[in-house]
Chains A and B, each alone.
Chain A
């Protein structure tokens, strides 16, 4: 007998894990995307130092998301990964180069420019690939008997290129507002300067995506226009967040632009979930279709409920240890 609807709990956990990953790795990927445009090499050092102590903890959420998905919703894992085969490879290659660059760039002298490129290129490719995944998810997947049956590059369409660029711009915005919060002087001034153009880019791309989406998928169109009386709240909140970013940059607030950008991401994310709920492998499978066995979901949940609070505590503690401004020529130690 099933006492709880475990699949629903798991959908919440995975959904939470995904947004944790997007927000946390989002800003450090964003710093990588902005890397080549930084005013000076010293500023690049500082930029890297702002994220160095926390980036690999952030990426652990991706691994947890992958493993959790396999445990709780194996069908999602076994359809979406083959469907995005080439994209997943590009993302992993990007993350590898970027991860190694973190460690070797500070040791390199004459070859430093190579590690700069590895860091910026890896971050950009990984961010773009993740954005394309979002687009592919809205598009839906071709399946036969619970397995992906489309082609290798079905995921790559003009629509997914646009969502890829959208997330790229979004992460860059998270990165620039993070830098506003974590740096000062010339670098902070630069971050202030680029935030508004980035915000405009994000809004323009989001607007095109919003207009385009109903044409990509009928189900989304019906969902949107049948429930318009309730769904308008989310785009309204998104715009409110955007206004808040613009206003707080104008007023030279330091923390608020980052907080408001996170708000922008959360409302957009909720909008995405609302558009597709409860389909996890659209257009065919709901989260209940994709669920693993009840005993398996329960077995892992018991451990997770015990460990996740400890993990969150540790994560918060790390951010507390490395709080405050990062200055040029000064690491955390």
Chain B
């Protein structure tokens, strides 16, 4: 069997990006939450805020570390697997990635140390400033990355000369047509991720009666934020969809499973897209709703996949179902946010076990939604890499063989599998030990002064020893 380097490189990039993406979306949201907690601690002097902030900073340290480690690989993948793309787009992407390193990486590196180790060592105001700077750094970082990514969807401000993109307008290229929508959608997704994870973990502590006062505060804060942001995300998503219809109509057609450009298009709830026969099997839909959502008119015209040749269509099934997973989870998030409001009277949501249990399980949903959304937008661009200008096959490294691509694909899966298992396992240990972990002085000596070290929880589960003496046996744990 012939190994196809194009397919293998696409799988490899999808794997690395999907894997990487879950860490930044979490750390962006969490960084802002920590900055808010630090601000409250600074303003009110209530030690509860400080306790919460110290705990979530530990979690942040682990997540941030994993994101950095998995992120280094990506910058090299452009060169190794997509060298023609690197060469063609370097005039724009090179400066974007470099600006990310010099404006965001160094800012984060500078202030992360102060945030992690500076409490009670630097003045409280400086510590608060460091927390804000780390949060700002995460936004600057996503600004550059999403600008670069959006440009690949809606290229602007460039012209193609002899197979190389030349920038004609930096402002048009950076603030390209889909950038504002993508950036807003991603930032809100990050807040939703942070919010649901903090809410879910707090709910779990409340179910077990641990640190009730602090965790109630955290849960209440999260639910207010989610109440505001979950519906907002639906609005932004809708606007993003309209923007996509304008610039990438074929992607929208795949999302809707709409094969022919037509009016009065139903919103399909369920369908099995059959790309070979260019039709759907088993359609269940709501009449005219897709037309209304996309054009805001009941009989509006919706683009179909027949606008382009079959070879230029993305894989419809994946895009169609990923989109439904994302939207479905989004609606579930709105439902939980509203339930939180209804239960707020008399603080019922602190007691309702079904609600707290539900929130526990909701903490995983933003990650799935983010990856599904990422699939929709990235696979939906297929077969283009730079939309309408450069396709994936043209972008591939000419010398790359299927065997080489397979070798590194397996390699990355193994390496990431090991590192990810260790990281997640450790993260769960940190969550398990929880806010009560106060006796930090004991092991002051053997901690290196870098990110994950702020979380001072031993790797193995031990009983009756040192700083985990109060931890309960692992099999009781809900995670």
A interface residues (Cβ-Cβ under 8 A, vs B): 45, 48-49, 52-53, 55-57, 59-60, 62-64, 66-68, 70-72, 74-75, 77-83, 85-86, 88-89, 92-93, 95-97, 99-100, 102-104, 106-111, 146-152, 292-293, 295-296, 299-300, 303-304, 307-308, 310-311, 314, 318, 322, 329-333
Verify B404–A152 contact, CB threshold 8 A.
yes
Verify A64–B445 contact, CB threshold 8 A.
no
Give the CA-CA distance A63 to B401 in the complex, in Å. Answer: 26
List A contacts of B408 (CB < 8 A). Answer: 85-86, 89
Give the CA-CA distance A92 to B399 in the complex, in Å. Answer: 20
List A contacts of B448 (CB < 8 A). Answer: 48-49, 52-53, 102-103, 106, 331-332
Of the candidate stretches B38-46, B241-249, B318-326, B454-462, the one touching chain A is: B454-462
Once A63-B105, A70-B93, A111-B459 are accepted as A-B contacts, the answer to whether A102 and B450 lie under 8 Å apart by CB is: yes
Give the CA-CA distance A89 to B411 in the complex, in Å. Answer: 8
Once A100-B423, A103-B65 are accepted as A-B contacts, the answer to whether A300 and B79 lie under 8 Å apart by CB is: no
B interface residues (Cβ-Cβ under 8 A, vs A): 65, 68-69, 72-73, 75-76, 78-80, 83-84, 86-87, 90-95, 97-103, 105-106, 109-110, 113, 117, 164, 166-167, 170, 397-401, 403-404, 407-408, 411-412, 415, 419, 422-423, 426, 444-453, 455-460, 462
Once A67-B98, A67-B101, A82-B400 are accepted as A-B contacts, the answer to whether A77 and B79 lie under 8 Å apart by CB is: yes
Q: Ordered nearest first, which 5 A-B pairs have the shortest CB separation?
A: A71-B94, A52-B448, A81-B79, A74-B90, A103-B452
List A contacts of B450 (CB < 8 A). Answer: 52-53, 55-56, 102-103
- In angstroms, how far is the closest chain B Cβ from the Cβ of A49? 6
Verify B449–A92 contact, CB threshold 8 A.
no
List B contacts of A310 (CB < 8 A). Answer: 106
Verify B98–A78 contact, CB threshold 8 A.
no
List A contacts of B109 (CB < 8 A). Answer: 56-57, 60, 314
Please tell me which one of the listed residues B101, B167, B407 contacts residue A296 in the complex, with CB atoms under 8 A apart: B167
Give the CA-CA distance A321 to B383 in the complex, in Å. Answer: 51
Give the CA-CA distance A88 to B76 in the complex, in Å. Answer: 8
Verify B87–A92 contact, CB threshold 8 A.
no
Verify B103–A104 contact, CB threshold 8 A.
no
Give the CA-CA distance A93 to B404 in the complex, in Å. Answer: 15
List A contacts of B69 (CB < 8 A). Answer: 96, 99-100
Once A103-B453, A304-B98 are accepted as A-B contacts, the answer to whether A75 and B87 lie under 8 Å apart by CB is: yes
- In angstroms, how far is the closest chain A Cβ from the Cβ of B176? 16
- In angstroms, how far is the closest chain A Cβ from the Cβ of B1? 19
- In angstroms, how far is the closest chain B Cβ from the Cβ of A205? 27
- In angstroms, how far is the closest chain B Cβ from the Cβ of A126? 12
Please tell me which one of the listed residues A45, A86, A95, A304 contacts residue B404 in the complex, with CB atoms under 8 A apart: A86
Verify A78–B449 contact, CB threshold 8 A.
no
Verify B73–A296 contact, CB threshold 8 A.
no
Give the CA-CA distance A307 to B11 in the complex, in Å. Answer: 36
Besides A63-B105, A97-B415, A292-B90, 11 other CB < 8 A contacts? A57-B109, A68-B98, A85-B408, A88-B80, A92-B76, A99-B69, A106-B447, A106-B448, A111-B460, A303-B99, A307-B102
